[in-house]
A and B are shown apart, each in its own frame.
Chain A
Amino acid sequence: MAKRIDVSGLNAYYGSFLAIEDISMTVEPRSVTAFIGPSGCGKSTFLRTLNRMHEVTPGGRVEGKVLLDDENLYGSGIDPVAVRREVGMVFQRPNPFPTMSVYDNVAAGLRLNGKYKKSELDDIVEKSLKGANLWNEVKDRLNKPGSGLSGGQQQRLCIARAIAVEPNVLLMDEPCSALDPISTLAIEDLIGELKERFTIVIVTHNMQQAARVSDRTAFFNLAAVGQPGKLIEIDDTERIFSNPSVQATEDYISGRFG
């Protein structure tokens, strides 16, 4: 189920521009790892290299290795489509398919992966919506459009959609930045539950959020605009927020810059 991510010597480019340079880190299974850092430091770009979404951007290109347990996602003969079925993703803005019902949104990934009986689908949809703490709110309107839900509900619908296919890893790119505090709290609680089953990586601009939800925190920074982003340090969240080993990290989390 949940797998370990092992990144070594990873560079990502937009055309000829080197966006992130030489990143190596390990993410343990069934843990939450938060990426923090100033805007433009490449944390979202790095996140998108973990499910090979970076290369769908025109000019996007990656060098280096990302091991999922023992399999290199960038190895030859690896199909990016297959990678994305194993590594789920939740985006900054809730993006349910606007023309699909709540039910169809959750079932969308399953229908891509193969044939399911109606009863099987029903079970998985219910389980996924329960897993996303959304079932009680939508069980009476499964056939209504997903775009009719509130922003926070839509985001949980997107999480349900992502976990319905039972990925090994769940990536979240600032999943709460478009949500109100109550919806944010709901998602944060959910992350705590989901980490029992998935390896979770979350990008966030909210340092309290990183402190609340994550076990490990990685701090990214860039020397100047136009320079590549780098991983400054990764450590236990407690340690990063109390006694980081690099001065820049302390400056950032204490609000001295960024």
Chain B
Amino acid sequence: MDIKTHQPTVPPTPAAPAPAAPRDKRAARGATRPGDRIFLGLSRGSGIFVLALMAAIAVFLTYRASIALSENEANFFTSFEWNPSGVPPKFGVAVLAFGTVVSSIIAMAIAVPIAVGIALFITHYAPRRLGGPIAYVIDLLAAVPSIVYGLWGALVLVPHLEGLYGWLDDYLGWTGVFEWNDGAPRSLFTVGILLAIMILPIITNVSREVFRQVPRMHEEAALALGATRWEVIRMSVLPFGRSGVISASMLGLGRALGETMAVAMVLSSSFDINASLLDTGGGTFAQNIASKFNEATVTGRDALIASGLVLFVITLLVNGAARMIIARRKEYSGANA
């Protein structure tokens, strides 16, 4: 299958560049040996394959979504309803967008400081004998399947959160955001906590790598001025690692936005937006698709696909932002090399 797709792309290569610039000629000469030619074909084929796959997904999502959207009687972006099988069908992604974004923000707010703390501990505080094993355990955390996190969340985390909920209600309840009406702690806040644990490893690992790359001479510059260890971190390590930590967080955010099973198992979903993060209910894109897909009608499935398209766009934007930051960082370190 694969090989067939790139065979046709190979023959034009030696023929086409004949009148072109000398650089192309050299490339063509390199491709005349059979090994080179096969490898060129394989790698080019793989590259094209990925692009084609992306395009196919985008086309599929857009096509099916457009069918559903043309039948939708409610405003797709503002409606709180999800009734695509009704007559007429009415559905909107406001609740899902809110739930997805809010739970991810909670996850980030919890995970980023902890991850940065762990990364700093491993690279700058822990003795080498301790840092290695900790890093290894964090890696293991990344390998746990999300369904297992879901099980743990539903069976262990949820029953144990009532104390925390009560405490938050006592001290921060007046803000309205942390008001608790004694419902089951299966809220967006719980989802945020679980997501935080799930995205902790990736943020930790990337931050750790960035902190490890801080040039020794920058740290020594601070040390020689009489900086304590914390001051060295503040003056040399954090400024150097800032953009790396941001892109690490973006990677984590990408995962939090798309997390499905764990959210579906912990959240007691409903189609409304609560002022308090601790109120039971709410929903996320991925969780909604997972829990509704099996019983959905044809229009229902298309509506879910439309919501999937929105998630796809959000994730794309987040990744794009992360790439931009990484690219800027590259220029920056190049200028100082």
Q: A93-B217, A95-B217 are in contact. Are A85 and B223 (CB under 8 A)?
A: no
Question: Do residues B220 and A53 form an inter-chain contact, with CB atoms below 8 A?
Answer: yes
Is B170 located at the chain interface by the 8 A CB criterion?
A: no
C-alpha spacing A242/B230, complex, angstroms: 49
Q: Which residues of A contact B228 (CB under 8 A)?
A: 81
Chain A window 43-59, contacts with chain B (Cβ cutoff 8 Å), 1 for yes, 0 for no: 00000000101001010
Of the residues B221, B225, B240, contact of A165 by C-beta under 8 Å: B225
Q: Does A231 contact B (CB under 8 A)?
A: no
Q: How far is the CB of B278 from chain A (nearest CB, A)?
A: 39
- The answer to whether B223 and A98 touch across the interface, beta carbons within 8 angstroms, is no
Q: Which of A91, A96, A100 meets B224, CB within 8 Å?
A: A91
Which of chain A's residues have a CB closer than 8 A to the CB of B218? Answer: 95, 97-98
* B240–A99 CB distance below 8 A: yes
Q: Is the beta-carbon distance between B240 and A95 smaller than 8 angstroms?
A: no
> Which residues of A have CB within 8 Å of B236?
97
* A residues in contact with B227, CB < 8 Å: 81, 84, 112
Q: Does A158 belong to the interface (CB within 8 Å)?
A: yes
Contacts of B217 on A, CB cut-off 8 Å?
91, 93, 95
Could you tell me the dominant secondary structure of chain B's interface residues? helix
Size category of the A interface is: 20 to 34
Inter-chain contacts of B231 with A (CB < 8 A)? 112
Q: Which of A51, A85, A109, A162 has the most CB of B within 10 A?
A: A109
Determine whether the beta carbon of A91 is less than 8 Å from that of B221. yes
A112 and B224 CA atoms in complex are apart in Å by 12
CA distance A244 to B239 in the complex (A): 49
CB atoms of A97 and B336 under 8 A apart: no
B261: interface (CB < 8 Å): no
B225: A residues at CB distance < 8 A: 84-85, 88, 108-109, 112, 161-162, 165
- The CA-CA distance from A98 to B217 in the complex, in Å, is 11
Q: Mark A158-197, 1 if CB is under 8 A from B, else 0.
A: 1001100100000000000000000000000000000000
- Chain A nearest Cβ from B138, distance in angstroms: 22
**B177 near A: Cβ within 8 Å?**
no
Q: Counting CB contacts under 8 A, is A136 at the interface?
A: no
Given the contacts A91-B217, A95-B217, A97-B218, A51 and B235 also touching, CB distance less than 8 Å:
no
Interface size counted on chain B using CB atoms at 8 A: 21
Asked if B87 CB lies within 8 Å of chain A CBs, one says no
Tell me if B20 counts as interface (CB < 8 A to partner A): no
Q: Say whether B224 contacts A108, CB under 8 Å.
A: no
A147 at the interface (CB under 8 A from B): yes
Query: For window 196-247 of chain B, which residues contact chain A by CB distance below 8 Å?
Result: 215, 217-218, 220-228, 231, 235-236, 239-240, 242
Indicate if the CB atoms of A112 and B221 lie closer than 8 Å.
no
Is A113 interfacial (CB 8 A cutoff)? yes
Is there contact, CB below 8 Å, between B226 and A95? no
Q: Which residues of B contact A93 (CB under 8 A)?
A: 217
Residue B335 CB within 8 A of the other chain: yes
Q: How far is the CB of A223 from chain B (nearest CB, A)?
A: 29
Give the residue of A56, A81, A85, A158 whose beta carbon is less than 8 angstroms from that of B221: A158
The residues of B that contact A1 with a CB separation of less than 8 Å are none
Chain B residues whose C-beta falls within 8 Å of the C-beta of A85 in the assembled complex: 225-226
Across the interface, B226 reaches (CB within 8 A) one of A113, A147, A158, namely A113
Closest to A167 in B: B226
Q: Which of B3-22 contact A (CB under 8 A)?
A: none
A147 touches B224 (CB 8 A): no
Q: How far is the CB of B332 from chain A (nearest CB, A)?
A: 8
* Any B CB within 8 A of the CB of A89: yes
A98 near B226: Cβ-Cβ < 8 Å: no
Contacts of A246 in B (CB 8 A): none
Query: Which residues of the partner chain A approach B215 to less than 8 Å between Cβ atoms?
Result: 95
Min C-beta distance of B214 to chain A, whole Å: 11
A86 to B215 Cα, complex, angstroms: 24
Chain A CB within 10 Å, residue with most, of B220, B225, B231: B225
A82 within 8 Å of B by Cβ? yes
The chain A residue with its CB closest to the CB of B225 is: A109
Query: B235 — which chain A residues lie within 8 A by C-beta?
Result: 97, 108
Q: Are A82 and B226 in contact (CB under 8 A)?
A: yes
Known contacts A108-B225, A109-B225; 11 further A-B pairs (Cβ under 8 A): A53-B223, A58-B128, A81-B228, A83-B226, A85-B226, A95-B218, A98-B218, A98-B336, A108-B222, A112-B227, A147-B335
18 residue pairs bridging A and B, Cβ less than 8 Å apart:
A58-B128, A84-B225, A86-B226, A88-B224, A91-B217, A95-B218, A95-B220, A97-B218, A97-B221, A97-B239, A98-B218, A98-B239, A100-B239, A108-B222, A108-B225, A109-B225, A112-B227, A147-B336
Binding site for A on B (CB under 8 A): 128, 215, 217-218, 220-228, 231, 235-236, 239-240, 242, 335-336
